[in-house]
Every structure is written in C-alpha cells, then in structure tokens.
Structure 1
Amino acid sequence: MEAAEQTDPTEPPLPPLVDHHCHGVVRSELGSAAFEAFLTESDAPAALGTTFFDSQLGFAVRRWCPPLLGLEPHCPPAYYLARRRELGAREVARRLLSATGISEFLVDTGLPGNLTTPQELALAAGGTAHEIVRLEQLAERIADTSLTADDFLTGVADGIREAARTAAGFKSVAAYRYGLDFEPDPPGPGAVHTAAERWLARRGQGGTAAARVTDPVLLRHLLWSAAYTGLPLQLHTGFGDPDLRLDRCDPLALTDFVRAVRPTGCTLILLHGYPYHRGAAYLAAVFPHVYADVRLALSHTGARAGAVLAEMLELAPFGKVLFSTDAYGLPELYVVGARLFREALTGLLTHWVAEGAWSRRDARRVAALLGADNARRVYGLGTPTPRAG
C-alpha cells in the first residue's frame, strides 16, 4: 500500500499560513478507539456497528494524511493506524505538522491532557508559536489556591495582567459554561464579590462540576477584565461537543455585548460559528472590532467545506476572516484543516476569476489576507518568518 510519491514535485511552494486558533497534540501512542475519539465532537464511542471514520472528517483524514506517511490516499483505516504505530507518535507528528504549510501557531493552552506545548508544536512544524490564554482555566487555577473571594479576585486581576505581558490574546468558553445570552454590561464589584464567595463555597464541597466557573456574573467579569487589556479576545460560538447547548451559542446573541465592549478598543474574534456562521459574518460586517473564522466547520464538513466558506464570504469583509485549524490531539487535524481551507478557497477563487467576478490579482490578495495577513494584523505578529526548505 505504499505510495510512490508523497507530494507532487511540480506543485509550487504554498504560501505560509497563520493558524490563529489551535491546541496541542497528544504525545503518546493512540489505540484505534482513542484515535477515533478525536474525529468527532461526541463524548461517546461510535454507535454499535459504525465508525467515526465514516464521516466527512474521517474521509478527509484518509484522503490527505496517508501519503504523508508513505501510503496511498484513502487506504483502509486499519492500514493507516498500523503505519502510524510503526512510525511512532513523534515521527508522525513531525511528518504531518511539517507538511501543513503553517508557519505560526496561536495555541490555546486551556485543554487538559498530555499535549504538546506551543513550543513543542512549533518545533515539530518548523514554525513559531504564541500562547492564547483561556480565561476560565486561569480563573479555576487561581481559585485552587484562594482562601477568600478577595484573594480570588485579586489573583484574577494579577493573573490577567501578567498573562497579557506575553500572550497573543485571550479566549473564553462562556458558550460552554453558560451560553452566549448573558447580560452584556460589566457586573458591579458587589455582584462579582458575592458570586466569587458563592462559587468558592461550592468548590469547597468538592465535585468536578463545582470546580468549573459557570456563574454568568464571574464569566462576564472575566470577559470584561480581558477586554481592558487591549489584546484580542476569542469567543467560542456555534458548533461544539455535547457540553454546550447549541441553541444558546448563536453569535447573534452577543450583539449587545459587542456594542457594549466597543469603546474599550477590544478586538473580538468569533470562532467556528457553524451552523450560525452567516450570523458571525454579519457581525463582522457591521462592527469594526469583530472578526470571524469558520475553521471547525471546514474540517467536519469535509467535501462540503467550499460551500460553508462561500457562505461566510457572502457577507463578511475579506479583511475580517481568519484561518485556523482548531486542531486538537491529532496532528492529522492540522493537515486536514490546512488542506481543506486551501482546497475550498482555491476552488472558490478560481471559479470567481473564471467567470469574471474577480480579478486574478484580487483573488491572490484576498487569499493572502485570509490565510495569514489578517491574523498578523489583528494579533500584531509582524512580518512573516521564511520557512526552512
């Protein structure tokens, strides 16, 4: 089943991408079930008699990843996983990540597990990395050592201020913890103190659920604290695992918060969006401080990624859409995210140029904006770093 060629030597060098939202990859070897768990947002195994490989994402992994490991595209999953075990996790990560064409990674370090650090991820890919600090994890870490509400609130203020010195931005998963239909204005000091006391007391009673910050007052406090740092703030919207209520994750529910936070100068970046990505595109179109991406949808819609991207580009200004992979756990998800984005965007732009709707020059310029230049501008990353080789 080994492929004669891993890449087409006549293909021109791909322009580097900036992955503005991603996570580390698993360091350890993975069995079949553990590998498949990363191909879905479900928190349960595949239904009896089915496999998560039989999905748009599963097919995309089988299309793009086997040639990078010396196998034919679309080889059976068992062949692919056997080859993966033969090479080892580190070598697989090196081969796959270095083939993505991603030069910079903005890594959300808020997920648990034996995951690579931003620096390890960048080293394997031959690129550079920056940290995105997850607000809820920061608050929970501070709460672990706080004896009183005053200790906690002081620690949060200091922690956010310290993180802002080195991080590229912040991220909130308020969509998971409560929903996006929260009160838009900053909560008063008294309400924040009372909420902190209540949460710390509940944490003291133990339990995983009690340890998580879910109080809407505290979530709003974290959002507004981050907004005043001047760094970009990523917000999860739309599609995700069953831990959220999708009907409460429509980005349009953020409209009043978007209006309220505008005077701070904070840039808001709406992640994912699907199936509400057209709403995210609308917010990016009408508010100067709002940006959007559709990454998670592209990988999970696979062969339909072009249709989803086209819907985002119906309304969103081209300087307001950013590329990301949202890859987590598997280096394969970086490959799929980058390839599907390139394939979808190339197909759309080629069609629009061919029918005379766009000029070739504008198509190339917009491709550069979406792939890297918008992220460089929004996060202040500066000029690109040439890739080795």
Structure 2
Amino acid sequence: MTIRETIETTALIDNHAHPVEPLSETDVRERFAQWFTEGDLEYRDARHTFNYQAALGVLAERFDVDAGPGDDAFERELLESRATVDRHEYTRDCIASTNTEVILADDGFPDTSPAEFREYTDADVYPLLRLESLAESLIDDHAEFGAFEDALVDRMASALEGEYVALKTIVAYRRGLNVGTVDRADARAAFADVRSGWDGRLEHPRLLDYVIHRACEVAADYDAPIQFHAGFGDPDAHPRYVDPTHLVECIEAHPETSVVVLHGAYPYVGQAGYVTATYPNVYLDLSLAIPFAQHGSERVVSTAMELAPTTKLLYGSDGFSVPELYVLAARRFRDALASTLEGAVADGIVTESYAETVAENVLRENALGLYDL
C-alpha cells in the first residue's frame, strides 16, 4: 500500500470539533458563506474566500450540479438545494464520507449539545468541557468566591469522571494566552469585581487566569488533556496575543498537564511547532488552519513537522455548525499530509514505511492514546 493509499483509508479520530446546528432556509440562502470564514467580513467578501468556493464544490458534488464555482447562478442553485436538506440525514452522509470514527465535540458552541449531535452522525461522539461556559454558569449561581471555586472544581471533576475526555479553554480570545499566576486572594477580589457588574460574559484577566490554573490542576489529577484555542478564530481575538509562545509560563507551571494547542496556532504554526518540540506535555492540533487555509494546507503540515515530533501532532476538523466543514477538513488534511510525507520520502528524510506509520499516528493513533479513548 502506498503512503497516499494508507492516508486515504485510515479512519479519522477528530480531536477537536463542534456539533452541527439547525439552519433556517433563509440562513442558507443569504448567509451561508459566513460559516466558511472566521473573520468579521462583509458577506460580499466572505463569498470570495477559497474555503467557501471549495464548499460550493462539495455542494456541486452532493447535488450533481454542472457549473463552476464563481458563477452566481451556479451558487444560487446550490444554495436552493442546500436550504431544503434533511439536517440529520445530510449531516450523517457528509460525515460518513470522511471516514471519521470518533469526534471530540465542544459542549460550549453552538447550542446543539454533543448528546444531540450523536443523533445525526454514526461516529462516536465524546464531549469536551468548555471552561468559560462553565465558569459563567457558576457565576450566575454563586455569590461567594469559595462556593464558586468549589463548584468549579466539582463540575470539572465529575465531567472527567464521566464521559468527558478533556477540558477546553478559549482564554486566548478573552484575554490572550499570556496566562499569569494569580493567588487566591487576587482571584477572590477579581470575583467580587466580576459579580458587581456581571453581564454574563467572563473577561476579567485575573479570574480567568485563576480558573485556567485550577483547570490544569484538575486535568492533571485525571490524566486528561486541556485544549487551548490558539491562533486565529473568533473575531474578538487579538492577533498578537494568540501566539502560543505566550502560553509558556502556564505550560511550565503545570508539567504534569497535557496541553493541546489548537488550530495549528495559525498563522503562528512555526511557533506552535517550536513549543510542541520543546515541552514534553504539549501537543499540536492542526484543525481550522486546515481547511481554512485551503491551498496553504500542505505548508501548515510541513511547517508543523519541521520541529514537532510526529507523535504529538493531531488531526482535527474544528467542524462547526455545517457538515461541509467536516468534509473540507478531511479532504484537505489527507491530501496535505500525503504530499508532505511523499516529499519527505523523495528527499530521503524518511522511509516509506516510516511515513505510513506517521500518517496513522497523526490521523488517529496519537489521539487514541492522548485522550485514552
């Protein structure tokens, strides 16, 4: 079997994704492109990303429409067909076409829960506990810091004792990845500040930092990873503070905690590979960067492999809301991984047999071991 054949036939473990959500027919006809860009773009611009154009290609295959992306009439016809699909059947078919065996799904976005997600995919779905959503719900329910902290730890522990396989944080988008050390007195004062003007969204740096450090401790106790969004993503993220090198102090403070840097930290892929190669407890997920980078996908994989051990690289789709993202991610990732490994063999860096082992590790085996699936 060739490297490419191995890659094409290996069942995927998607270590980072979100459930698919119901979309109205109007959403599909008028706003569909917005699910294929992470920027706060005008719709006329969102339609002209390569990622969206590739999504139209997926729709053309699904609905057997003859025309080329870039044609407005072609797009309207595709969206008319997409607007009336049965969400459950369509999602199941899309994900089945990717040969994905397991999906780790964030319980914090969208409103569809991982449990509901199981109803429209044949893949096994395991939930990830989003820390900011948890903390916000507990701030609503607890007026005193001590009660809040106890409930936070109890909820994380009970989740990891149950079906949850990891914790997850979007602190990068709330205050950046430069998570600092906060003592309990500072955290108590920060909690009081938050409660006094509580608006439902946790952004206070000191309280966020304290939550993250407590989460790292709980994750270590249960030998569970904690995922950190890094690089591009939500439009409220500051482009400089999502560089994973900002996370080093937190990583060093918790050497027993497995840290997963998400999104390939795009565009900081080289920095993410460096951090992954430096710290034994750090792993690198390449979701969202692939497929959003589209024709840059091979560069993302190749850059990650410059330094990072291939035993610490993870496949992920970061598919969210629409199932086409799962399809795009699987296609682009498989192709980029195959091209990168074929190039390494041609250059005499690795053997073909070793490259096949790398492929299986990145696509599934690394995640199976890390998350104890």
TM-score greater than 0.5 by the shorter chain? yes
- How far is the alpha carbon of 1:126 from its aligned partner? 1.5
- How far is the alpha carbon of 1:78 from its aligned partner? 1.7
- How far is the alpha carbon of 1:347 from its aligned partner? 1.5
The one-letter amino acid paired with 1:28 is: L
The one-letter amino acid paired with 2:290 is: L
Mapped partners of 1:172, 1:101: distance in 2? 28
Mapped partners of 2:232, 2:225: distance in 1? 21
1:64 paired with 2:67, answer no
- How far is the alpha carbon of 1:87 from its aligned partner? 2.9
What are the within-5 Å matches in structure 2 for residues 152-163 of structure 1? 152-163=148-159
Q: Which has the higher contact order (CA 8 A, sep 6+)?
A: 2
Query: Please, which of 87, 96, 99 is the counterpart of residue 97 of structure 2?
Result: 99
- How far is the alpha carbon of 1:121 from its aligned partner? 3.1
Gapped regions of structure 2 (runs ≥ 5) = none
313-322 or 32-41: bigger deviation = 32-41
Mapped partners of 1:33, 1:83: distance in 2? 13
1:171 paired with 2:160, answer no
Over 3 Å counting, the alpha-carbon distance change for 1:61 and 1:68 in structure 2 is same
Query: Please, which of 334, 341, 361 is the counterpart of residue 333 of structure 2?
Result: 341
The one-letter amino acid paired with 1:94 is: R
The one-letter amino acid paired with 1:164 is: L
Mapped partners of 1:73, 1:269: distance in 2? 41
- How far is the alpha carbon of 1:136 from its aligned partner? 0.6
Alignment partner, residue 249 of structure 2: 256
1:21 paired with 2:12, answer no
In 2, are the aligned partners of 1:102 and 1:125 still within 8 Å (CA)? Answer: no
Q: TM-score, normalised by structure 2?
A: 0.90
SS in 2 for 1:20: strand
Mapped partners of 2:134, 2:288: distance in 1? 24
Query: Please, which of 34, 39, 45 is the counterpart of residue 37 of structure 1?
Result: 34
The one-letter amino acid paired with 1:83 is: S
Q: TM-score, normalised by structure 1?
A: 0.86
SS in 2 for 1:246: coil
In 2, are the aligned partners of 1:281 and 1:315 still within 8 Å (CA)? Answer: yes
In 1, are the aligned partners of 2:88 and 2:119 still within 8 Å (CA)? Answer: no
In 2, are the aligned partners of 1:228 and 1:266 still within 8 Å (CA)? Answer: yes
Alignment partner, residue 120 of structure 2: 124
Mapped partners of 1:32, 1:299: distance in 2? 22
Alignment partner, residue 208 of structure 2: 219
SS in 2 for 1:170: strand
Gapped regions of structure 1 (runs ≥ 5) = 1-9, 204-209, 382-389
Over 3 Å counting, the alpha-carbon distance change for 1:38 and 1:13 in structure 2 is closer
- How far is the alpha carbon of 1:274 from its aligned partner? 0.6
Query: Please, which of 324, 337, 340 is the counterpart of residue 332 of structure 1?
Result: 324
- How far is the alpha carbon of 1:102 from its aligned partner? 0.8
In 2, are the aligned partners of 1:295 and 1:324 still within 8 Å (CA)? Answer: yes
- How far is the alpha carbon of 1:45 from its aligned partner? 3.2
1:271 paired with 2:233, answer no
331-340 or 153-162: bigger deviation = 153-162
Higher helix share: 2
In 1, are the aligned partners of 2:37 and 2:46 still within 8 Å (CA)? Answer: yes
- How far is the alpha carbon of 1:260 from its aligned partner? 1.3
Identity %, equivalent residues: 28
Mapped partners of 1:239, 1:249: distance in 2? 7
Q: Cα RMSD between the aligned structures?
A: 2.0
SS in 1 for 2:325: helix
- How far is the alpha carbon of 1:190 from its aligned partner? 1.3
Over 3 Å counting, the alpha-carbon distance change for 1:56 and 1:13 in structure 2 is closer
Over 3 Å counting, the alpha-carbon distance change for 1:149 and 1:35 in structure 2 is same
Mapped partners of 2:59, 2:315: distance in 1? 20
In 2, are the aligned partners of 1:234 and 1:271 still within 8 Å (CA)? Answer: yes
Mapped partners of 1:121, 1:100: distance in 2? 16
Mapped partners of 1:368, 1:200: distance in 2? 48
Deviation by residue 1:19-76 (Cα, 9 ceiling, x = unmatched): 1110011123333233121111123432xxx342321211221233432344458453
SS in 1 for 2:46: coil
The one-letter amino acid paired with 2:86 is: G
Over 3 Å counting, the alpha-carbon distance change for 1:63 and 1:288 in structure 2 is same
In 2, are the aligned partners of 1:149 and 1:200 still within 8 Å (CA)? Answer: no
Structure 1 runs of 4+ aligned residues shifted over 6 Å read 10-13
Mapped partners of 1:311, 1:298: distance in 2? 13
Alignment partner, residue 217 of structure 2: 228
1:141 paired with 2:132, answer no
Deviation by residue 1:252-306 (Cα, 9 ceiling, x = unmatched): 11112211111xx110000110111111101110110001122211211112211
In 1, are the aligned partners of 2:19 and 2:110 still within 8 Å (CA)? Answer: no
SS in 2 for 1:211: coil
The one-letter amino acid paired with 1:225 is: R
Q: Aligned residue pairs: how many?
A: 357
290-299 or 129-138: bigger deviation = 290-299
Over 3 Å counting, the alpha-carbon distance change for 1:354 and 1:73 in structure 2 is farther
Over 3 Å counting, the alpha-carbon distance change for 1:277 and 1:219 in structure 2 is same
SS in 2 for 1:228: helix
